[in-house]
Structure formats: structure tokens, C-alpha cells
């Protein structure tokens, strides 16, 4: 019998292959494209609700489609009138590449693929609803801030004539840094039901009177807008878009509106009493903080006076903490003992940290609970920022020891970690770095260099670099045939058409 890729994607079979390299090698099993799924779009917010199309696989319209993520989270898919299968991404508590499988009978899952779960702040504006005049949302109920609040969204994103708008809240329960510390997004109530999908909704807020348990401890909220389709009563299966995460000042009790400063001061003092002095934070390599990016207009809401901030790439291993450094227009680092816009450590790294799933490692939302909500209490809604800065003091550069750098460039010239400089014109594949400490291997491939007119030069240049540490994924960066850079994850070429920033386990 002919080998089949059903249940076997990623494997090398006896007569053919179901691995990602099979197409370039011309050894794919006949049903490779049918069972090893290609999807569009391939990425979306970790909040879920993204409708994605399964390409190259035609199914019967009567199929009972189930989509299973990580072998445990099941959502209901559907087959459209053209026979094309669709899945809906689920709510996740992690970012990165998520394996999924598809069943047409509700029991066997022979089809498989990969979904990219993205930090909510990194998805495009078209995939989120917008809080019009966000400052008004932040300060609603404080003196001279009231009236209508307005949400807008790209109505074409949802293929429906009417939508619901829901309010969701986030909480973390259990004992800190224990096994019972859990994260949860919780549906609170429906703000608007079956309204026309015009892409805009305005309302006059009223203080909450419901007994929402989330409100007593924290106030991180988000909106979900979804259309009324096949899965009206199954919220995990509804195509939807979400707002950005934010503190709902308008949703707080009447005591907040009566005296916002007193209410927030009490919350700030309570937070200060419970908060432990920070946290062991690694100072390591840094990357731009997309919440305060000089290349995107320097909108630095939580660091006034800053024009650019960077975050440590990795969280501290034990506590999942983060580190942020902010700079003013002169390039000087801003410190918390000088300014409320100063550089601060974070109890929860904004980008989360592996293995995710549990506090304080939930991407974005753990950081909001432990580092942002308290900033509202102490700095934005009251004049008690000294409490916050006492608990989040800046780390200056005096103890920073930058990692040693090595490089390869030109035809090619090498600069080693210990400062040796030499030129090597070998042609082939070589080991560039090898360390038994973490089983790190970095390999390079060289090829003959060419002049702009296409003629060969008397020299070589690096054309590809591949790396792996311990049992991590294999990451490769190489020149493609048209001399563009390609990034490969475990031999699969990654597409950057939807996401220009990916965090890989390399």
C-alpha cells in the first residue's frame, strides 16, 4: 500500500516523505498537501477568535469539523459553500508556534498544521478594535473627564451584519510562585447585543453595580466583538476581534467617581503594603519595546519624557521578571529617582517567558497586573508615584557586563570572541562556534562571491548560518536564490508577510 501522510506529518516514511523538505527534494507522499496543512492567515492574537482558511484541502460541506490545538483545546471549525475548511483560533496563554490537528468526524485527527500565536500588542490595528481617544478611556470618571466613549473597528474583518460586544476581565489566583498560581480570562457580561456591524459603537458608561469578583482586586479589561454566526453560543468558536488590554476607569464603582484620588490612593497603599521589593532581574541583550518606539512616533504613555525604551530579551529564569531601560531625546537614560518616566524593572516580563501558561509568565497580561495596574493606582489616578518608584527602582549600567561579541563579514573576515582577527577563504561548511557548556553549535556555509555584473570573485562569503543549543529548534538564516534573506525553523522557510517579529526557540 502507498504510504500516507495521515497522522504522519513531519515523518520520513518508507517510500516517501511527509517532512517539510520533501517538496524541494521531490519525494513527498502523494497526499502530503492534503494532510500537512498550509493555512491563511497563519497568525493571530493569543486572545483567539481568528478565522483561518485551510488551503489545498477540499472537504464535504456536511463534515463535522473539529480543530484541536496542542492536543487538548478543541474549537469547532466549518466548511464554507466553496468546500473550503476553516478553523477558529482559541484563547491561549502563550505565544509561539502552536501545533493543531483537524478532524472531519469528531474522533480521528489525521490533518495537522501549525498556528502562530502572537502577543496581543503585536497584531495589526486592523485585527483589533480601537479605543477612540484612549486618554479619555484611561481617566474616565476623574475630574473633567466624562461623556460618550467610542469603539471603532474594521467592519469588513467580521463577515456579519450584526455583532455582540462583550466585556472580559483577567485575573490570576493562587499563591505566588506556587503550583496553584493560575491565570484566567473571564467573561463578565455583554455590553451590546446584536448591534449593526457598522464598525463603530458609542455609549455613556455607568458605574458597575454587579458583583464582579475581578473588580475587588484588579481592573484589567478587554472587549470582544464577535459576529452572530454558526457558533452563537460557543464563545471559544466565534470569529472575533478584541480591543487592546486596558484599565477600565469607567467600570469602577461610584466611590472612584466620587473621589478618584482617594480611591486610587487607597489602592496604591494596599499594593505597596503587599508588594515585595523587586525581584532578581537579568540584564542581558535588549530589544525595542513596542510600547515606546522612536521609530514609531515615541508614544510613551507609561514613561513620560522618554522617546525610546528597550526591554531585556529574556526574562529572569527563576521569577520571569523583566527589565526596561528608557532614554530621553538626548540619549540619556532616565532613572526613577529623577523622573516618573524612568527605567523600571518588571515583576512580569511584558513578552512573557517559556514555558508560559502560568503566572507570572503570561505574555502581556501578567505584566499588566503586576506592573501597569499599580502604575495607574499610584501615578496616573493619584499623586503617589513615589510609592511605585520605591518598588520599581531603576537599574543603571554600573553592574552591566556586555557579552563578548564575535563577527564575520566581507570575504569573509572573522573577529573572534577573544579578539583574534583573520581572513579565511575556505569554500564549504564549517563550525563557527562550539560550546559544551550548553551544547551550542553554530555552523556556517560559504560560497564563491560574485561581482554586481555576475562574474565570480577570488574569494568566498558566508551564505548561510545555522544554530542549535541543547535540544532547541534549529534556526537557519541564509541567502535565497534571489539574494534575499530567508529564515528557516527546523528546515521550514518562515513567512514574514504577517509578522515582522518572531521569537524563536533557538
| pLDDT tens over the chain, length 506 residues | 579 999 999 999 999 999 999 999 999 999 999 999 999 999 999 999 999 999 988 888 788 899 999 999 999 999 988 889 999 999 999 999 999 999 998 889 999 999 999 999 889 888 888 889 988 998 998 888 999 999 999 989 888 888 898 888 888 999 988 999 999 998 888 888 989 999 999 999 887 665 543 443 444 555 555 443 222 233 446 889 998 888 888 778 788 889 999 999 999 999 999 887 555 555 567 888 878 899 888 888 888 899 999 988 889 888 999 988 899 999 999 998 888 888 889 999 999 999 999 999 999 999 998 999 999 999 999 999 999 999 998 887 667 777 889 999 888 899 999 999 999 999 999 999 999 999 999 999 999 988 888 888 888 999 999 999 998 999 999 998 777 899 999 999 999 999 988 888 76
Cα–Cα dist 121/127, whole Å: 11
Per-residue pLDDT, 273: 92
H, E, C per residue of 310-326 = EEECCCCCCCCCEEEEE
Q: Reduce the DSSP state of residue 379 to 3 states and report it.
A: helix
Question: Cα-Cα-Cα-Cα dihedral of 413, 416, 418, 421, to 10°?
Answer: -10
Same-domain status, 234 and 296? no
Same-domain status, 167 and 230? yes
Same-domain status, 88 and 151? no
Same-domain status, 226 and 181? yes
Where is the domain boundary, 258, 273, 308? 258
* Strands ordered across the beta sheet of 440-450: 429-435, 440-450, 456-469, 475-479, 485-489, 492-493
Per-residue burial over 26-41, b if 16 or more Cβ lie within 10 Å, else e, is: ebbbebbebbbbebeb
Domain tally, the chain: 4
Same-domain status, 190 and 76? no
Examine residue 416 and state whether it is found in any structural domain, yes or no.
yes
Helix extents (H) in 343-498: 365-367, 373-375, 385-391
Examine residue 435 and state whether it is found in any structural domain, yes or no.
yes
Same-domain status, 363 and 471? no
Same-domain status, 384 and 416? no
**Are 179 and 230 in contact, with CB atoms under 8 Å apart?**
no
Q: Return the number of other C-beta atoms located less than 10 Å from residue 109's C-beta.
A: 19
Taking Cα atoms as reference points, which of 76, 77, 72 lies closest to residue 57?
A: 77
What residues form DSSP beta bridges with 118?
45
Examine residue 152 and state whether it is found in any structural domain, yes or no.
yes
Per-residue pLDDT, 289: 86
Same-domain status, 235 and 361? no
Examine residue 7 and state whether it is found in any structural domain, yes or no.
no
pTM: 0.89
Cα–Cα dist 205/183, whole Å: 28
Same-domain status, 253 and 267? no
**Are 261 and 382 in contact, with CB atoms under 8 Å apart?**
yes
What residues form DSSP beta bridges with 167?
189, 223
Examine residue 143 and state whether it is found in any structural domain, yes or no.
yes
Per-residue pLDDT, 233: 31
DSSP codes joined into one string, 106-118: SS---EEEEEEEE
Same-domain status, 152 and 198? yes
Where is the domain boundary, 333, 366, 391? 391
Examine residue 385 and state whether it is found in any structural domain, yes or no.
yes
Examine residue 73 and state whether it is found in any structural domain, yes or no.
yes
Q: At CB < 8 A and 24+ separation, what contacts does 173-178 make?
A: 174/359, 176/359, 176/360, 177/319
Chain centroid to Cα 76, Å, comes to 24
Where is the domain boundary, 118, 147, 171? 118
Whether the bond between 233 and the residue before it is cis, its omega within 30 degrees of 0, is no
Q: What is the DSSP letter of 122?
A: G
Cα–Cα dist 87/99, whole Å: 13
* Cα atoms in the Cβ-side hemisphere of radius 13 Å centred on 287: 11
Examine residue 161 and state whether it is found in any structural domain, yes or no.
yes
Domain range spanning residue 431? 407-493
Same-domain status, 249 and 328? no
**Are 364 and 352 in contact, with CB atoms under 8 Å apart?**
yes
Same-domain status, 198 and 241? yes
Amino acid at each position: 500500500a502507498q504510504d500516507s501522510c495521515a497522522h504522519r506529518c513531519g515523518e520520513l516514511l518508507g517510500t516517501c516523505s511527509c517532512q517539510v523538505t520533501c517538496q524541494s527534494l521531490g519525494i513527498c507522499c502523494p497526499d502530503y498537501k492534503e494532510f500537512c496543512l498550509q493555512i491563511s492567515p497563519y497568525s493571530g492574537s493569543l486572545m483567539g477568535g481568528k478565522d483561518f482558511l485551510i488551503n489545498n484541502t477540499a472537504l464535504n460541506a456536511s463534515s463535522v469539523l473539529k480543530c484541536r490545538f496542542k492536543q487538548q483545546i478543541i474549537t469547532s471549525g466549518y466548511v464554507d459553500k466553496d468546500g473550503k475548511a476553516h478553523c477558529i483560533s482559541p484563547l491561549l496563554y502563550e505565544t509561539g508556534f502552536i501545533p493543531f490537528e483537524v478532524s472531519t468526524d469528531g474522533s480521528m485527527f489525521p490533518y495537522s498544521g501549525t498556528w502562530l500565536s502572537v502577543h496581543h500588542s503585536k497584531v495589526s490595528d486592523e485585527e483589533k478594535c480601537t479605543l477612540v481617544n484612549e486618554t479619555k478611556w484611561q481617566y474616565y470618571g476623574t475630574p473633567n473627564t466624562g461623556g460618550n466613549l467610542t469603539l471603532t473597528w474594521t467592519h469588513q474583518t467580521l463577515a456579519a451584519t450584526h455583532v455582540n460586544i462583550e466585556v472580559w476581565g483577567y485575573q490570576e489566583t493562587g499563591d505566588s510562585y506556587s503550583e496553584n498560581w493560575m491565570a484566567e480570562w473571564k467573561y463578565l457580561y455583554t455590553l451590546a447585543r446584536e448591534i449593526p456591524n457598522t464598525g463603530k459603537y458609542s455609549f455613556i458608561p455607568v458605574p458597575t453595580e454587579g458583583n464582579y469578583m475581578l473588580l475587588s482586586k484588579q481592573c484589567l479589561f478587554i472587549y470582544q466583538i464577535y459576529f452572530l454566526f454558526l457558533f452563537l453560543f460557543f464563545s471559544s468558536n466565534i470569529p472575533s476581534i478584541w480591543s487592546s488590554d486596558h484599565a477600565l476607569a469607567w467600570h469602577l464603582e461610584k466611590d472612584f467617581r466620587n473621589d478618584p484620588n482617594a480611591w486610587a490612593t487607597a489602592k496604591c497603599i494596599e499594593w505597596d503594603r503587599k508588594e515585595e521589593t523587586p525581584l532578581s532581574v537579568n540584564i542581558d541583550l535588549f530589544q525595542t519595546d513596542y510600547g515606546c518606539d522612536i521609530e514609531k512616533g515615541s508614544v510613551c504613555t507609561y514613561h513620560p519624557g522618554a522617546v525610546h525604551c528597550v526591554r531585556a530579551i529574556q526574562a529572569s529564569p527563576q521569577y520571569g521578571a523583566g527589565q526596561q531601560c528608557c532614554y530621553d531625546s538626548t540619549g540619556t537614560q532616565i532613572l526613577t529617582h529623577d523622573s516618573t518616566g524612568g527605567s523600571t524593572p518588571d515583576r512580569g516580563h511584558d513578552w512573557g517567558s517559556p514555558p508560559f501558561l502560568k503566572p507570572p509568565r503570561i505574555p502581556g497580561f501578567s505584566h499588566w497586573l503586576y506592573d501597569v495596574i499599580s502604575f495607574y493606582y499610584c501615578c496616573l489616578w493619584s499623586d503617589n508615584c513615589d510609592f511605585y518608584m520605591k518598588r520599581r527602582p531603576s537599574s543603571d549600567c554600573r553592574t552591566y557586563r556586555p557579552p563578548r561579541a564575535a563577527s564575520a563579514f566581507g570575504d569573509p573576515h572573522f573577529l573572534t570572541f577573544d579578539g583574534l582577527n583573520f581572513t579565511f577563504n575556505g569554500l564549504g561548511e564549517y563550525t563557527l562556534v562550539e560550546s559544551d557548556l550548553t551544547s551550542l553549535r553554530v555552523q556556517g556555509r560559504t560560497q564563491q562571491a560574485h561581482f554586481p555584473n555576475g562574474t565570480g570573485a577570488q574569494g568566498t562569503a558566508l551564505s548561510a548560518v545555522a544554530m542549535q543549543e541543547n535540544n532547541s529548534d534549529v534556526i537557519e538564516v541564509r541567502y535565497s536564490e534571489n539574494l534575499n534573506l530567508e529564515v528557516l525553523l527546523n528546515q521550514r522557510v518562515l513567512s514574514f508577510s504577517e509578522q515582522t517579529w518572531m521569537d524563536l526557540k533557538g
